[in-house]
Amino acid sequence: MLSNRAENIKPSPTLAIDAKAKAMKAAGADVVNFGVGEPDFDTPEHIKEAAIKALRDGFTKYTPVGGIDPLKDAIIGKFQTDNGLSYSREEIIVSCGAKHSLYNIAQALYGPGDEVIIPAPYWVSYPDQVLLNDATPVIVKTQESDAFVLSPEALEAHITKRTKALILNSPSNPTGRTYDGKTLERIAQVVLKHGLYVISDEIYEKLVYDGVKHVSIASVSEEMKKRTLVVNGLSKSHAMTGWRLGFTAGPREIIKAMTTIQSQSTSNANSITQKAAVEALTGPQDFIGMMRGEFDKRRKFLVSELNSIPDVSCITPTGAFYAFPNISGLFGKVNGKPVFCSSDLALYLLEDAGVALVPGDAFGDDRHMRLSYATSMENIRKGVERIREAIGNLK
Ligand SMILES: *Cc1c(COP(=O)(O)O)cnc(C)c1O
């Protein structure tokens, strides 16, 4: 009865775990939730005020499909200031969240027979969005010893005549690692040699630590800019996940196709959100520094605690708000039920210790699990102690 397309994909696993943890909580259980993929901070007040003003002013009608000009101009300004990239309005489209931006790109670029290279561990929606467009995801494993960064050699080894694009995500969800400029230059050489596109998901751009500077692969060269679709948004940088606003910058013919596709699906992003987004991008930015400072404290604490648990090791994340410890040292251990994989461990920790996190399996890496530190220090403290105890009970 259902289409092949519908049969081939699965619900977002991160949202599924989050739902289970919330259901347990609603039923009265005391659950520490490391599963969430959104900032625990509230949207800054001045952004809310801009939305309230938009409502009061009656800015509640359809807008141009690809976004209002003041927002496109604010986005152009952001790319210029943050990334040294110059775009015109025809090279920008505003969508209903960065996930929607990525989906529009998939619709505009991928088709039957196309291969899209996705480094693993990957964000959960990349492979399924490729599948939804009848193309083939080609998963390329990265090494923990390389800090989960795709090597240009591994990339080249997986390119075929059918390869259309490479999806990059720096800072990365789930690994929390970042690509440096030198590596991006070497990847760009391979990409240009084979005439691929790069979809660069930079949604965690503002969340970098230890003096890391975010680099967009589009800024590596003018040629590379022509082959790159840069995706970004406000969900993570301005704590605006529920507002649904993402944007893409790239070659005008692709942006035009994405706009046409969007005109036949969702039409414009929410009008009120667009006004709020102008304020988010052009108003005071001090909120971001405050949030990053808090995340940084939690990051240091969580990673050092995880590393003090026997048979668990965690490389230091340099971006986003996730720790991605290696838990494969626990495989084969038992407490009532045996633990053979990341899902076994996640279920054990949820049911026995009241701790929700996402098994690495969901991201194409079964030897790890993902903990979000977008939760209070108090929760992190409590959650880590529960994990330590539950893992200590595995024999
Ligand atoms: C959160 C997230 C997104 C989607 O963000 P929205 O703008 O809320 O749709 C995209 N990519 C990655 C890697 C994310 O973690």
Domain boundaries, the chain: 4-42+287-392, 61-282
Q: How far is the CA of 153 from the centre of ligand 1 (A)?
A: 28
Nearest ligand 1 atom to the CA of 233 is: 7
- Spatial separation of the C-alpha atoms in residues 231 and 233, rounded to whole Å: 7
Q: Is 171 in the pocket of ligand 1 (CB under 6 A)?
A: no
CATH class, domain 61-282, is alpha beta
Q: How far is the CA of 346 from the centre of ligand 1 (A)?
A: 22
Nearest ligand 1 atom to the CA of 102 is: 10
Tally the residues of the chain: 395
- Per-residue pLDDT tens digits of the chain, which is 395 residues long: 898 888 888 776 666 667 778 889 899 999 999 988 899 999 999 999 999 999 999 999 999 999 999 999 999 999 999 999 999 999 999 999 999 999 999 999 999 999 999 999 999 999 999 999 999 999 999 999 999 999 999 999 999 999 999 999 999 999 999 999 999 999 999 999 999 999 999 999 999 999 999 999 999 999 999 999 999 999 999 999 999 999 999 999 999 999 999 999 999 999 999 999 999 999 999 999 999 999 999 999 999 999 999 999 999 999 999 999 999 999 999 999 899 999 999 989 998 999 999 999 999 999 999 999 999 999 999 999 999 999 999 99
CATH class, domain 4-42+287-392, is alpha beta
Global pTM value? 0.96
The contacts of residue 50 (CB under 8 Å, 6+ apart) are: 275, 276, 278, 279, 280, 283
Q: Is 241 in the pocket of ligand 1 (CB under 6 A)?
A: yes
Mutate to test the pocket of ligand 1, among 173, 245, 295 (most ligand atoms within 8 A of CB): 173
Q: How far is the CA of 332 from the centre of ligand 1 (A)?
A: 34
- Spatial separation of the C-alpha atoms in residues 127 and 103, rounded to whole Å: 11
Going edge to edge, which strands form the sheet with 246-249?
A: 92-95, 246-249, 228-233, 197-201, 163-169, 115-120, 136-141
Q: Is 207 in the pocket of ligand 1 (CB under 6 A)?
A: no
Same fold, 4-42+287-392 and 61-282: no
